[in-house]
Structure 1
Amino acid sequence: MTQTTQAQLVVLGGGPGGYSAAFRAADLGLQVTLVERYERLGGVCLNVGCIPSKALLHIAGVVEENEHLAELGFAPQQPELAAVQRFRDQTVERMTTNLSALAKERGVTVIQATGVFEDSHQLRLSHANGTESLLRFEQLILAVGSRVVALPFLPKDERIWDSTDALKLSQIPKRLLVIGGGIIGLEMATVYRALGSAVTIVEAADQLIPAADSDLVRLYQRQNKDRFDIRLKTRLDSVSATEAALNVTLTDANDQSVSADFDAILVAVGRRPNGDLIQAEKAGLTVDDRGFVAVDEQLRTNVAHILAIGDLVGQPMLAHKASHQGHVAAEVAAGEPARFAPLAIPSIAYTHPEVAWTGLTEKEAKAQGLNVRTAAFPWSASGRALASGQGNGRTKLIYDADSDRLIGAGLVGAHAGELLGELTLALEFGASTEDLALTIHGHPTLHETVGLAAELAGGTITDLPNPLAKRHPATA
């Protein structure tokens, strides 16, 4: 007979959204059971995604700094692969161990299993030891995340990777082809280039990181033109595997095809939600043909006692969005009047240099018919950026010309993602560019460029020629 257990609130999925929901719900007094398929909490993000990739990107950053040191006469060393792997694993271990301790401290019951719906109040769990059980619940928060998109025409070959494979660092290929010029593709390209691979990046769109504004991406691409072979408006037509290499055919926008050999291929063309993997129809849940589950501002699905968060409910597929949604879903489950209605969700490509944005991009604002203006401060005029060898960056503010209200911001440069905190807070508080300009920023710092961009918008800039300056007739 199949064992059945009862829970007040079940959270299915232990990634950043899931464990955040479970821990918040437990803090609000609910009895919580958290179901996670990995042996360790953290989901894709902590185990095979965000955290191990950022550990490797830290190593890539060290290599980047070493290259700069070489220009200054130092003799840097290339990192050893075993040491890099050890640092990656230790980082993941520390994070996941902390999560287990937090779950225990809060009294959250953790079950390692995968789950599908048996009905609207019951999950069928498949455990690692091959057994099955039933888990009944009063309420459920779905946090089952997403999976990589595969290209069905590719041959089965251990040299063809997805992002999880790439993070294993099983080998450093001499020639690596990255299919997809989005954030994941570029981050992995950054890692492998630092570790010695010659990297070719193929993107079907007319720019890398298609979601970002093109002026920022052009700056990134200009700084990486000698590091990567970047091919835009290009598609992968075929791959044939031989013992010696993977032979590919690439076709550009003019239908000109070329063949080339690579030692490994990373497919990074996106992710799709896992709504089609949970037998949602048995619970009466509505899932669209892409695998997304629709929710309202309280993150309730069409079945009132089932909530959903994270990648499962739509773009952007980002861990920090899922975490905040996890808090909201837990509060709703506990009877509080919470809602998820952010004005801005930051996005960051942890590349070299970083590309980051928050709020509306310039192209999104124009598409909405807003009267948009921008002010961009070049890091070539920033003392801290120049002293750090980072003078190629830019800080860009996007604001409403009628109200002066900030509606978005974007940056490219070292630690660009760290500068989004102030800007996202400014967006949530409805700040104007004048508010930012009148905020005293430390000097010399990179975040000073935010205030200087705002001064440029308001015509009070003194660190650059002022386009709004009034000239005395005698000096005009």
Structure 2
Amino acid sequence: MVVGDVTTGTDVLIIGAGPAGYVAAIRAGQLDLDVTLVEKEAYGGTCLNHGCIPSKALITATDVAHDAATAEEMGIHANPAIDLSGMVAWKDGVVDQLTSGVEKLCKANQVNLLEGTATFVDENTVRVSHGGEGQGSETLEFEHAIVATGSRPISIPDFSFDDEPVLNSRQALALDSIPDSMVVVGAGYIGMELASVFAKLGTDVTVVEMLDSILPGYDDDVKRPVKQRAKELGIEFEFGYTATEWYEPDGGIRVIADPVEDAAADGGSEARSASEEASGSAEAAADERLELDVENVLVAVGRSPVSDTLDLEAAGVETDERGFIETDSRARTNVDHIFAVGDVAGEPMLAHKGSMEGQIAAEVIAGEPSAIDYQAMPAVVFTDPEIATVGMTETEAEETGFETVVGQFPFRASGRALTTGESDGFVKIVAEEDEGYVLGASIVGPEASELIAELGLAIELGATLEDVASTVHAHPTLSESVMEAAENALGHAIHTLNR
């Protein structure tokens, strides 16, 4: 114990107040446990303060401006003036409302809130250091602990986030002026979402991706409409390249990107042809070094777990080679009374996945028979158009041993989609052939993030294609497309040709 420390005790110590941690705290409070929630920066974590919420606020705002400026087909002619500082202020207001709400909910559920940075002393004790000179520290003894410290952006060599022109996603969301030009390193979900935001603000955007396409892990038919829309927005792509350095010539910066040898050995010709198609770059086709003159570079190559600040070894908690804390189906680590939830506990790094794990960890601590089930875990990419998936793809289902049947319905055949001016994409449902149980779904198109919930519920409840198809859906709505996709799988869709 440090001299001058005050030692207190708690039933449940939770480290990190993001969507995983604060949900765990509230649920534990509801279950009459004495709960202490430690947060070093801001309640709501990265998601509410610097990730999910602010990015979706800016996506919505830029969509409004872009839609108004491109609605001539509807007879609307406008030239919106964008005040980025005003847009960011509105976004910050949304964030403040939500984070203050989290704090109020925690207090209403008798959660003890403690500001500071927690590190383990042993398997039943942490020391919490308070920020600021002279603030000191205190020691907490706990019966159970839940680690919910989240993740941070991954940096790449020679691109330090301390350098003003180099941005991570958090810094990009806080810009107060619109860059004239930008390189986005990484074509995953963060890179593609923010590339679209800045393109709609008028920034010339080039995406550099070491693989041969956008959004790795998603089927080609799902991501094809997103890539096409990105090209329509003026986004250029350089596939099969990795950013290696940058420097400052007279005005702006110059980003250097070199060909990836592995890409050439594994689909590199496809990468180069895709790059040449998207950007018209003869240099890319010839495997030459790229030199891109821009105002900013946004590095969006993924996120890594925040587990290195906790001194986990002192508690005996083990991590894998990437720093993720390994857990079982009840969110337990290798130390029975210490749990880990959210991004720090591994893929998929989804806020709603973390919240579910946090709730289950609290219930397990309280003696409830809860366990984690990922089979109906949705994933959403807020690109233009949106992508949403749940359950298994057709390939995954067949590899698991299922005989499958697939139904699909295009949004271009949806009356409601046409009336919104957004008719790219489709709903696709994968089901077990004999009994028709819904196994998975993919949606790309308008409001995919909302439509996927119905199919997640179908998987959770063990519903069949007949159940979905026989449920009357209001007209005219986008959700009718879900019904029609189920009918298509059954062979009797009305508004599209049956397979």
With the shorter chain as reference, the TM-score category is over 0.9
Which one-letter code corresponds to 1:271 in the other structure?
A: R
1:173 matched to 2:179? The reply is yes
- Paired residue for 2:281? none
Q: Deviations over 1:443-470 (max 9, x none)?
A: 1110110010111110111212234xxx
- Paired residue for 1:199? 205
- Paired residue for 1:3? 6
Residue number among 454, 464, 467 corresponding to 2:486 in the alignment: 454
Q: SS in structure 2 opposite 1:222?
A: helix
- Paired residue for 1:390? 422
1:37 matched to 2:40? The reply is yes
Which one-letter code corresponds to 1:45 in the other structure?
A: C
CA change 1:432–1:251 in 2 (3 A) is: farther
- Paired residue for 1:50? 52
1:26 matched to 2:29? The reply is yes
Instruction: Give TM-score scaled by structure 2 length.
Output: 0.90
Deviation, structure 1 residue 399: 2.0
Deviation, structure 1 residue 369: 4.8
Which one-letter code corresponds to 1:149 in the other structure?
A: I
- Paired residue for 2:438? 406
Deviation, structure 1 residue 297: 1.1
- Paired residue for 1:473? none
Deviation, structure 1 residue 233: 2.7
Deviation, structure 1 residue 200: 1.0
In 1, Cα distance between equivalents of 2:46 and 2:441: 29
Deviation, structure 1 residue 366: 4.3
- Paired residue for 2:139? 134
Q: SS in structure 2 opposite 1:135?
A: strand
- Matched residue count: 466
Deviation, structure 1 residue 269: 0.4
In 1, Cα distance between equivalents of 2:155 and 2:230: 27
1:333 matched to 2:339? The reply is no
Residue number among 333, 354, 363 corresponding to 2:386 in the alignment: 354
In 2, Cα distance between equivalents of 1:273 and 1:194: 31
- Paired residue for 1:434? 466
In 1, Cα distance between equivalents of 2:254 and 2:457: 48
Q: SS in structure 1 opposite 2:339?
A: strand
Deviation, structure 1 residue 129: 2.2
In 1, Cα distance between equivalents of 2:404 and 2:289: 40
Residue number among 424, 444, 447 corresponding to 2:476 in the alignment: 444
Residue number among 293, 308, 324 corresponding to 2:340 in the alignment: 308
1:218 matched to 2:224? The reply is yes
Q: SS in structure 2 opposite 1:225?
A: helix
Deviation, structure 1 residue 173: 1.1
Aligned positions of 1:47-446 closer than 5 A: 47-71=49-73, 72-130=75-133, 131-154=136-159, 157-227=163-233, 228-242=235-249, 244-252=251-259, 253=268, 255-446=287-478
Deviation, structure 1 residue 242: 3.5
Which one-letter code corresponds to 1:393 in the other structure?
A: G
Q: SS in structure 2 opposite 1:276?
A: coil
- Paired residue for 1:16? 19
Q: Deviations over 1:392-429 (max 9, x none)?
A: 12111122334422211111111110001101000111
Which one-letter code corresponds to 1:187 in the other structure?
A: E
CA change 1:363–1:171 in 2 (3 A) is: farther
- Paired residue for 1:474? none
Q: Deviations over 1:58-90 (max 9, x none)?
A: 102212321332442422413211210111110
Contact kept in structure 1, 2:68 and 2:76, CA below 8 Å: no
Deviation, structure 1 residue 367: 4.3
Which one-letter code corresponds to 2:144 in the other structure?
A: Q
Which blocks of at least 5 consecutive residues in structure 1 are unaligned? Answer: 468-476
Q: SS in structure 2 opposite 1:442?
A: coil
Q: Deviations over 1:80-126 (max 9, x none)?
A: 11210111110001001111111221111101111111111111111
In 2, Cα distance between equivalents of 1:334 and 1:73: 58
In 1, Cα distance between equivalents of 2:398 and 2:32: 46
Which one-letter code corresponds to 2:431 in the other structure?
A: Y
Which one-letter code corresponds to 1:352 in the other structure?
A: D
Contact kept in structure 1, 2:37 and 2:112, CA below 8 Å: yes
In 1, Cα distance between equivalents of 2:19 and 2:250: 40
Deviation, structure 1 residue 257: 2.4
Deviation, structure 1 residue 234: 2.6
In 2, Cα distance between equivalents of 1:20 and 1:416: 25
In 2, Cα distance between equivalents of 1:181 and 1:42: 26
Which one-letter code corresponds to 1:30 in the other structure?
A: L
In 1, Cα distance between equivalents of 2:249 and 2:35: 51
Q: SS in structure 2 opposite 1:193?
A: helix
Deviation, structure 1 residue 249: 2.3
Contact kept in structure 2, 1:121 and 1:137, CA below 8 Å: yes
Which one-letter code corresponds to 1:226 in the other structure?
A: E
Contact kept in structure 2, 1:212 and 1:357, CA below 8 Å: no
Bigger shift: residues 241-250 or 346-355: 241-250
Q: SS in structure 1 opposite 2:195?
A: helix
The root-mean-square deviation of aligned C-alpha atoms, in Å, is 1.6
Deviation, structure 1 residue 256: 3.0
In 1, Cα distance between equivalents of 2:57 and 2:90: 7
In 1, Cα distance between equivalents of 2:29 and 2:71: 49
Identity among equivalent positions (%) equals 39
In 1, Cα distance between equivalents of 2:175 and 2:434: 51
Deviation, structure 1 residue 243: 5.1
In 1, Cα distance between equivalents of 2:70 and 2:176: 28
Contact kept in structure 2, 1:212 and 1:361, CA below 8 Å: no
Which blocks of at least 5 consecutive residues in structure 2 are unaligned? Answer: 260-267, 273-286
Q: SS in structure 2 opposite 1:266?
A: strand
Instruction: Give TM-score scaled by structure 1 length.
Output: 0.94
